[in-house]
């Protein structure tokens, strides 16, 4: 069965520190994976996506993610967080060719001064 | 380019009442999706329109939910009668080509049923 797991519900990080958000997936074929961010009062914004090719994907706002097939993971990273990165982050898996997404439960990121 | 617009942004209704949520996709986007996030759980797929046709409505919870997309433009999602468990945030997204997977999401409608 297909699934997306974000093990961390809540993460607190200091401004300027590095951030890594975990995402594990289960899927029978080559996965198409996404990371979205939702800031308060905003819609979901696409940070980056992986379809194939280079396993290190660069996204917007200084984020990157690495696809590791052997670990069924697609972790999101940022070297130095800014206060504006405080938001909820969602990992998602494409589950059919028509664009249906399956989301993880989300990780809430709090940035402290 | 205008984004995906959803309204109302918030709605509080009593159990048993009817509520209609509206989504205006980006102009020219044939694909329109509805998702829902209930009580801090995962965001879950409800249905997908291609133009005015329902391509996939496998995520619709029950027959109290009715979605329409008039003329392939805006879409409405009606809940009748609303139940407490329908509370949550309803998101709409649109894309030009399904294979592009370049969705734009709206800000969502927060529905509270009391």
| A99/B106 touch (CB, cutoff 8 Å), yes or no | no
What is the pLDDT at residue B100? 65
Q: Left, alpha or beta for B16 (phi > 0: left; psi -120 to 50: alpha)?
A: left
d(CA B45, CA B5): 18
Q: Is the pLDDT of residue B98 over 80?
A: no
Q: Could you give the residue ranges of the DSSP H alpha helices within A2-113?
A: none
Answer whether B72's CB lies under 8 Å from B94's CB: no
* Mutation choice for A interface testing from B30, B45, B50 by most A CBs within 10 A: B45
Select the residue of A42, A94, A105 nearest B101 (Cβ to Cβ).
A94
Q: How far is B25 from chain A (nearest CA, A)?
A: 13
Answer whether A105's CB lies under 8 Å from B42's CB: yes
Mean per-residue pLDDT, A10-22: 97
Residues 69-98 of A with CB under 8 A from B: 90, 94, 96-98
pLDDT in tens, B83-96: 999 999 999 999 98
pLDDT in tens, B6-64: 999 999 999 999 999 999 999 999 999 999 999 778 999 999 999 999 999 999 999 99
Mean per-residue pLDDT, A76-82: 97
d(CA A50, CA A67): 8
Distance of CA A87 to the CA centre of its chain: 12
């Amino acid at each position: 069965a297909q699934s997306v797991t974000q093990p961390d519900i809540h993460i607190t990080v200091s401004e300027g520190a590095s951030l890594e958000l975990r995402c594990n997936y289960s899927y029978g074929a080559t996965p198409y994976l996404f990371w979205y961010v939702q800031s308060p009062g905003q819609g979901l914004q696409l940070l980056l996506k992986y379809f194939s090719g280079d396993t290190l994907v660069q996204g917007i706002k200084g984020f990157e993610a690495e696809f590791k097939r052997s670990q069924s993971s697609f972790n999101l990273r940022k070297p130095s967080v800014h206060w504006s990165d405080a938001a909820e982050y969602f990992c998602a898996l494409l589950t059919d060719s028509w664009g249906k997404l399956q989301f993880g439960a989300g990780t809430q990121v709090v940035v402290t001064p | 380019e205008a984004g995906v617009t959803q309204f109302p942004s918030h709605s509080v209704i009593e159990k048993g009442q009817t509520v209609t949520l509206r989504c205006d996709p980006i102009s020219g986007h044939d694909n329109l999706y509805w998702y829902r996030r209930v009580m801090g759980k995962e965001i879950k797929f409800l249905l997908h329109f291609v133009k005015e046709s329902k391509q996939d409505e496998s995520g619709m919870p029950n027959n109290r939910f009715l979605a329409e997309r008039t003329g392939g433009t805006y879409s409405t999602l009606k809940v009748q009668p609303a139940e407490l468990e329908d509370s949550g945030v309803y998101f709409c997204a649109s894309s030009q080509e399904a294979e592009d997977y370049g969705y734009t999401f709206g800000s969502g409608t927060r529905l509270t049923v009391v």
